[in-house]
Each structure stands twice: as structure tokens, then as C-alpha cells.
Amino acid sequence: MNALLTPRRLLIALLALLAAPATQARAADLNESTEKAMKAASAKVAPTVVKIETAGGAEMVPGGPKKGGGPPPAGIRKGTGPTTGLIVDADGFIITSAFNFANKPTDIFVTIPGRPQRLVAKVVAHDQTRMLTLLKVDAKDLPVPSAFPKSGIDIGQWSLALGRTSDPDAEHPPSMSVGIVSATNRIWGKAIQTDAKTSPVNYGGPLVALNGQVYGVIVPASNRAEGETAGVDVYDGGIGFAVPLEDILAVLPRLKQGQELKRGLLGINPQGNDAYNASPIIGAIQPDSAAARAGMKVGDKITEIDGKKIPNFSTVQHVLGPKYDGDEISVKVMRGDKEMEFKGVKLQGTNTAYVSAFLGLLPMRDDPGPGVEIRYVYPKSPADIAGLKIGDRVMKLAPAAAPALTPIQNRSALLRALQQLTPGVEIKIEVKRKEGDKVETVTAKLIAAPDTLPEKVPLPSSAGKALEGQPKPKGKEPKDPFGPGCGDADEDASFGDDKKEDEKKEDKKDDKPKVETGFIKRTNEALGREYWVYIPGNYDANKSYGLIVWFHDTTEASKDGEKVGRTFRDVCEDHNFILVGPKSGNKDGWVPSETEIVMQDVKTVLGQYTIDKTRVVAHGQGNGGQMAFYVGFNARDIFRGVGTVGAVLGTNPKENIANQPLSFFISGGDKDPLIKDIKESKDLLIERRFPVVFREMKESGKEYFDAATFAEFIAWLDSLDRV
């Protein structure tokens, strides 16, 4: 009966057959009308879309400052070729993405539709917060596009990404990629998001609405990084960004006058690292910043900015993101139970560089507290002068002027407390003595963090209680989140021989999960790329392990992960480190676009083992060191140190940040042709007030660390959590 058509079912089927041609016809008509509208919109804007070509400049971005001749420094390769721009003023002003000039070209040429010859262009000004560049050509009466009102931009609207690079004839229509507006108010309130295909082909070109008005100018962008190349690593990934043209036109008069527009900074850092859930409490204030000048204080809870309610620090970033240097805002805070309002707070384009405060001790790790046990005191440091000793416990701490001392529960609390303070501040410390459990209060005056390393690395460094109070891990061994096959091991027998006997004879009553150790090759199946991990044979989940991310150079020896693992084997076992080695997919060396892929490998390892977040280090040699610099600065939520051998920093480093401290160990051979550039890299970092240890190896060229420098590098690795 079920297989037969009832009269009712037969009628429905006949009606469907009769309706199908009409439905198909309507769909065809809709598709045709949409296609016509898209072509019309592109044609309307096309006369304002220009081709930009450059000559000269660096082929590698960043490339180290080169003085005195010699071979060019190592760098990260930038694509070359024509780029796109958009006319914004009839008198020859053209806006484009700052990415198009990241290689600092010496000559710029613009081809305008309807004009027979290329025109020479000059740079007028930069918008450094939205990463835009204004050009000027000698031309008049140019067509100018109409801006789509920001208030009318909605998610789901058609968006057309136009570029003028692939066709040598500027009279032809621009290239077009079709998508929708997928989000608004992105990149801290500065950009529209689209799923239309964006890349260097159309960076600087317009994102166009179906009515022929321009939403904005296409740029690479990232929430996690800044600079001309920020966001380039995810192009063609289904997410693109455009700065609203309405915003550009609002500041165009300032740009036309040659003003360099900088981001407006309040000069504060949050208390803790949770920008989305925690209350927006000020954890640190930069000296002489807008917040400091206004009278804000550490511990103030921000409740409103310009009348907008502030539930978390992410909202602070969204409200301040679109602001420029010199803009004024009003801020309301709660100080204790009292509400305070600061009006006319003038934002600044730069902050006084944050300087890490130094007490002079190494804390014992994986000690749940209360208090923090001291495992090393730096000679002649404030801690030493105050009489602190190895084995004493720091119980409370506060600035000397504070009404009461704040209890210090554990190492993380101690690190946070000192990150909020600056050199020159006098503090009081309640200390519980190792001998006799006597409690005393001492005074110390903080200093700037020196480049001093421990005379002898103190061991043990862990109390072995990292999991105390946490749920027991389930399963027999950590799994790779990318699925089956990603954690398959190809273990080197030479590493297997070094496993401890007590691991082989595991107590069956012990509930600890089995963890594979030694040299392990893995494949990220989703991306088809390999990486490797070295887990020390004495791995213990109750101890927190530092993570060294090795960026190989282009040499075969540097790519040999097993050799690198053998070099670090004793270090990993004695000082509690795990090694991970991503592999570049580019035969010429690392490129910025590999950053996100590398971070997938790193985050996989972070999620599998007990990792000490204060000791996550990017380490590399040559081009690998260049990549270590790049990743360290562009993934500052993860990395706390960068160690390089024979590598050049390149462009100016970013600011030091209180709650995302970054330390450096830089080395080079005295016979390396790049040694002058390596030293300049060191000087640039010191100028920005980063803690830097620099070692020049004698009678050395481009080799890896010599024995003495390697020993100092290990001491630096093991003291990254110093306070």
C-alpha cells in the first residue's frame, strides 16, 4: 500500500511538476538580474579604481636595517607585482592599503582608467591605525566614488571586492570577487568583514555594494597583530576586511595636510589575561600616559567610556580601537565604592615604554601555596639587599604606600603583582622564613630588569604539584585534536633507550595516564603538514614544562628534528622543557603566511601537556630566527621569550606590554657578515625597553651556539619567570 500513489499524493506530484518550470524560470530571472546588478555596480565604480606599480625597495619584509654594505640581511619574502588603489578626491588623491608599500619602494606609478600614461605618485601620509596610505598624483577632475553609509551596512548584503592588477589594460573592467558582508565593527571597531575573496590582488581596492556605492577600502587586518603585513597570513581564507569609506573621508582632510595619523592610546593594561569574561579592572598604567595624566589608578574598574557601558576589556578595545591620537574621551571608573568621572582625557599616539620591574628572585614552580617559595636570589638585587633567602616564602606584598599588604597565593599572583609596578617603587614584603617559620616584613626598592643571568641554574625548579586540586586527567595518553593519525609516533630508538626505568615499571595502582615520550613525528591531517615533538623521558604531568618552538633554517642540518632533540635532551629532562618543531612549506624559508599554521601545531601541544605559560619560547637560527622574531611579536598572547642565532629583527619592534612581557636572547658570531645588523636589532629592542641578553660568539660565523653561549641560553630559558 505504501508503494502506491494515493489520489492525494498523485495530485501533489502533478502540481509540483506543473510548478517546477515556473520556479526554475523565476530563479533564472533572479540570477540574471543579480548578475546584471553586480556588473552595473562594478562598472559604476571602475573609473575610480586604479592600478599601482612600484619599483625599488626591499624584496624581504621585514628586512633588517642594512648599513656599511655586505650581504643583505635575512628576511621574510613579500610578494611583488601591481596593486590597487581608490580615488578619493578629484584633485589626484588616492587611498590604498599600507601593505602595498611594506617594502618601502623608491618609485610609485599609478594608472588611471581613461588616462593614457602612467602617473608618478608620491606618498602624502599614513593612517597607522587602519593601515592606509594616501597618495597624490598630478591630475585634476578625477571621478570619485560614493560612500555607502555605515549606518546602513547590514550582515548578509552583497559585497564585491574589486582589484586592478591582473589585466594590463586599465580600460577593462576590474577583477571582481563576490561575497556578502559577514560582520561589522570588526578589528576593534575599525573594519567591515566580508567573505569575498581578498588578497594582495585587491588590497587597496574598494568593497562595493550592489547599488554601486563603496562600503570601504580592502586591507589585511588582524586583532592579534599590527603593522603593514598584519593579517596577510590569512588571506584567501574566507575572511577579508575593509575600512569604511565614510571613516576614511572623515579624516581625509588631515591626511591631505600630511598628518601621520596614529592610534589613540589610553595607556592601560588589564588585570589578568581574560579580556572577555573578567571585569575591566586596570592592572597597569603606562608612565606619563593619557590615563596617568588624567589621574586613573591601578585597581580602578572602568564602567563607561563616552557614555558606553563597559562590561569587559574587550569592549574597552572596541570603543578605543577607532580613536586617533589627540581624540578626547570621557571615562567613568569605580574606585572602591566611589564612582569617579574623568572628562576630556586626551589620547596619545605613543606610550612611554613599559619597563619591567625587578625584585631579584626565582620562584619555585608548581607550588600551590599559600605564598611563593624562593628558589634563587640574584646577588646584589633588591631581594638580596632586603635579606630574602632561598627557601623563604613570600606571603604578602604591596607598594609601601598602600594601606595593607595583599596576600600572594601562588607564583602567578606574584608575577601579576609585580607586572603592575614600575622600577623605583618601594614595596613591602611579608616573608615566612625557612628557618623557624618566623614571619617578617621587609622593604625593597624595585629596579629595571637587568641582563643578569643566574650564576648557576638552581635545581630542582618544581615542587611537583601542578595538578593539585585539579580533576585527574582521563584516558591513556593525550590525543591530537586533529583526529586519528595526527599523533602517530615514529620514535627514534636512541631516545627510547634513555627512558627512565621507573617509567617502564609503572605502578599499576598509579592512576597517572601513560604519555608517549621521546622524539615523535606527527602529521596535521587537516593541513597535510608535518611537525615533530620531543617529550622528555621523565615527563611528569605534575610538573609544568616550558615549551621551545624551534624554527629551522633553510639548511638541512637545521631541519633535522632528531638532531635538535638530541641537542636539547638533557635540557628538557633537567629543566622541564618540551620541544616542538613545525616545518616550513616554503623551500626559500619561512614566510608570514605560515604563522597561523604554526600556531595550530603549538596550540595542539599546549593542550596536551602541562605547560608553563611563562616559559613559551620561539627559537630559531638564520631565517628561522627571523621567523621566531615575527611570531614572537605577532602571537604575544602565547610567547614570553624569543631566542635567536644569527638573525636580524627587521622593522621597528612593537611596544613592551605589561601583561604580555617578552624577553630576548640574541646571539651572533663575530665573523657573521650580519653581526652589525644583529647588534642593531639588539639596540632597537633595548630602546623599546625590552629585557635583552646579547652574546657575541668569538671566532664564529653562522654556526649555532658555542658551548659557553648554549649554557647561558639554558640559564636564560630557566629564568624567564624571574621577578
Per-residue pLDDT, averaged over 58-86, amounts to: 51
Summarised one tens digit per residue, pLDDT across range 696-712 is 999 999 889 999 999 99
Per-residue model confidence (pLDDT) at position 79: 47
Beta bridge partners of 340: 333
Summarised one tens digit per residue, pLDDT across range 577-612 is 999 999 888 877 888 778 888 888 898 899 899 999
Q: Is the pLDDT of residue 244 over 80?
A: yes
Tell me how far apart the alpha carbons of residues 32 and 226 are, in angstroms, rounded to a whole number.
42
Q: Which of 221, 174, 225 is nearest to 45 (CA)?
A: 174
**Sign of the torsion angle spanned by Cα atoms 252, 254, 257, 260:** negative
Per-residue model confidence (pLDDT) at position 637: 85
Total count of residues recorded for the chain? 723
Query: Mean pLDDT over all residues of the chain?
Result: 83
Per-residue pLDDT, averaged over 660-670, amounts to: 92
Q: Is the pLDDT of residue 381 over 80?
A: yes
Using alpha carbons, list the distances in angstroms from residue 132 to 210, 219, 221, 242, 243.
24, 8, 11, 11, 9
Per-residue model confidence (pLDDT) at position 26: 64
Q: Which residues have C-beta within 8 Å of that of residue 23, sequence separation ≥ 6?
A: none
Q: Which one has a higher pLDDT value, 183 or 167?
A: 183
Q: Is the pLDDT of residue 466 over 70?
A: yes
Q: Which residues have C-beta within 8 Å of that of residue 614, sequence separation ≥ 6?
A: 415, 640, 720, 721
Q: Is the pLDDT of residue 512 over 70?
A: no
Q: Is the pLDDT of residue 716 over 60?
A: yes
Per-residue model confidence (pLDDT) at position 10: 56
Tell me how far apart the alpha carbons of residues 95 and 115 are, in angstroms, rounded to a whole number.
18
Per-residue model confidence (pLDDT) at position 557: 64
Phi, psi of 579 (to 5 degrees): -115, 135
Per-residue model confidence (pLDDT) at position 488: 28
pLDDT band at 19; cut points 50, 70, 90:
low
Per-residue model confidence (pLDDT) at position 64: 38
Q: Is the pLDDT of residue 562 over 90?
A: no
Per-residue pLDDT, averaged over 72-86, amounts to: 61
Summarised one tens digit per residue, pLDDT across range 306-317 is 999 999 988 998
pTM of the entire structure? 0.59
Beta bridge partners of 544: none
Q: Is the pLDDT of residue 117 over 50?
A: yes
Q: Is the pLDDT of residue 419 over 50?
A: yes
Tell me how far apart the alpha carbons of residues 599 and 534 are, in angstroms, rounded to a whole number.
17
Q: Is the pLDDT of residue 231 over 80?
A: no
pLDDT band at 137; cut points 50, 70, 90:
very high
Q: Is the pLDDT of residue 182 over 90?
A: yes
CB 213 within 8 A of CB 206: no
CB 313 within 8 A of CB 280: yes
Per-residue model confidence (pLDDT) at position 597: 84
Q: Which one has a higher pLDDT value, 688 or 638?
A: 638
pLDDT band at 502; cut points 50, 70, 90:
very low
Tell me how far apart the alpha carbons of residues 367 and 709 are, in angstroms, rounded to a whole number.
31
Tell me how far apart the alpha carbons of residues 551 and 629 are, in angstroms, rounded to a whole number.
10
Summarised one tens digit per residue, pLDDT across range 387-404 is 999 999 999 998 887 788
**Cell numbers standing for residue 431:** 616573608
**Cell numbers standing for residue 669:** 658570531
Beta bridge partners of 645: 621, 667
pLDDT band at 335; cut points 50, 70, 90:
very high
Per-residue model confidence (pLDDT) at position 56: 74
Percent above pLDDT 90 for the chain: 50
Q: Is the pLDDT of residue 492 over 90?
A: no
Q: Is the pLDDT of residue 129 over 90?
A: no
Per-residue pLDDT, averaged over 424-448, amounts to: 91
Kindly list the structural domains of the chain, giving each domain's residue range(s) and its CATH number in brackets, ordered by start: 44-256 (2.40.10.120), 268-346 (2.30.42.10), 357-448 (2.30.42.10), 493-717 (3.40.50.1820)
Per-residue model confidence (pLDDT) at position 470: 59
Per-residue model confidence (pLDDT) at position 73: 37
Q: Which one has a higher pLDDT value, 492 or 500?
A: 500
